[in-house]
Amino acid sequence: MFSRMKSLPRCARPLCREAIELRRAVSVFLFEYYGIGRFKLKLALGTVQFGLDYGIANNTGQVGREEARSILEIAQRAGINTLDTAIAYGNSESELGAIGVQEWRVITKLPSLPDNRLNAYSWVINQIYGSLQRLRMTSVDGLLLHRPAQLFEPGGAELLAALKDLKSQGIVSKVGVSVYTPDELKGLFDFHRFDIVQAPLNILDRRLIESGWASKLKKEGVEIHSRSSFLQGLLLLNDQSRPKYFDRWATIWKTWSSWLKETNLSPLQACVLYSLSIDSVDKVIVGVDGAKQLEEILIATKAYLPSLPQWPVALDSDLLNPAKWNQP
């Protein structure tokens, strides 16, 4: 709509703007009275910052215990009921256990199988019981594999057997995989039908949708959890704050900045609204640096996403995958 508006006669442009604002007002009204509760419940809280100094836009470091407690209180009051953590997230599990999260739906992840493992089955059992001890819980809602490709490597059969046994014993309610790209899902569901798939999805990285995997998983009844809504905070940075390494994608940032100006959205609003707008996604995991940022995210659910930016160039994995970022 915004690109078409530029071609209109000047006298018609105010009317077009009024139509856009009216549409925005109607949508906000509908979201306020019919959609806000659903959107908040769709949010899940990522807790990597509770255990690590994490995120390219994080200027405050690891979240302290009292701040973490405040974040959980705000989230709970807003109707958020799911926490995402992992053994590899520093002391995140221990911090959550110290605060007390027995009433939460907790999902944790196994690290990669070590090369020198003797028995993959016993290793998995020891890892999950270590998690439960740190979390001070007797069971968790979900257990995900951080490196599902290891299912096809030596020890993979034992790894899967351990997951199945933990589920049958009620130690975990659901088992799943955490992937970096939809390509990793090829073959996994021929191997085993998992309950949860966690994958990156944001306004820049739409591969989960465009590949067809989101609709495929939804039809199979698989729970989809999206992460990286802010691309580790990169999408929240302005031109002055963004590291020089990312200048190679200058055309992307120019389009992003122009689109934000046209829609009158903040980067945070745009990122949150896009992630929440995907019907096939069951949970949108958002990590925060503090209670104030969580409050901003909750307020952002009341805004309206009028269009999507059309990226001028093909997006490559060097940008979309933080593991490939060449930070000094």
6 burial level (CB within 10 Å; 0-12, 13-18, 19+): exposed
Per-residue pLDDT tens digits for 180-189: 999 999 889 8
Res. 6: pLDDT tops 70: no
Q: What residue type is 235 in one-letter code?
A: L
User: Is this model's pTM higher than 0.75 or not?
Assistant: yes
For the chain, domain boundaries: 44-301
Rounded Cα distance between 236 and 290, Å, is 15
Rounded Cα distance between 289 and 48, Å, is 10
Per-residue pLDDT tens digits for 97-156: 999 999 999 999 999 988 776 799 999 999 999 999 999 999 999 999 999 999 998 889
Res. 30: pLDDT tops 50: no
Res. 304: pLDDT tops 80: yes
Percentage, residues of the chain above pLDDT 70? 84
25 vs 179: which has the higher pLDDT: 179
265 vs 27: which has the higher pLDDT: 265
Alpha carbon 77 to its chain centroid, in Å, reads: 20
Confidence of residue 325 (pLDDT cuts 50, 70, 90): confident
Per-residue pLDDT tens digits for 167-213: 999 999 999 999 999 999 988 988 899 999 999 999 999 999 999 99
Collapsing DSSP states into helix, strand and coil, what is residue 183? helix
How many other CB atoms sit within 10 Å of the CB of residue 132?
Answer: 19
Say what the pLDDT of residue 117 is: 67
Res. 218: pLDDT tops 80: yes
In this structure, what token pair is assigned to residue 217? 């998983």
Give CA separation, 16 vs 5, 28, 265, in Å.
7, 18, 18
Res. 14: pLDDT tops 80: no
Contact between 163 and 232 (Cβ < 8 Å): no
Residue identified by tokens 């990522």 is 46
Res. 71: pLDDT tops 60: yes
Long-range contacts, 259-267 (Cβ 8 Å, 24+):
259/2, 259/307, 259/309, 262/2, 263/2, 263/305, 263/306, 263/307, 265/303, 265/305, 266/300, 267/230, 267/235, 267/236, 267/237
Collapsing DSSP states into helix, strand and coil, what is residue 321? coil
Closest CA to 224 of 273, 174, 263, 258: 174
Give CA separation, 70 vs 64, 101, 313, in Å.
10, 13, 41
Rounded Cα distance between 301 and 294, Å, is 11
CATH fold for domain 44-301: TIM Barrel (3.20.20)
Say what the pLDDT of residue 9 is: 54
Confidence of residue 16 (pLDDT cuts 50, 70, 90): low
- Rounded to the nearest 10°, the torsion over CA 303, 307, 309, 310 is 170
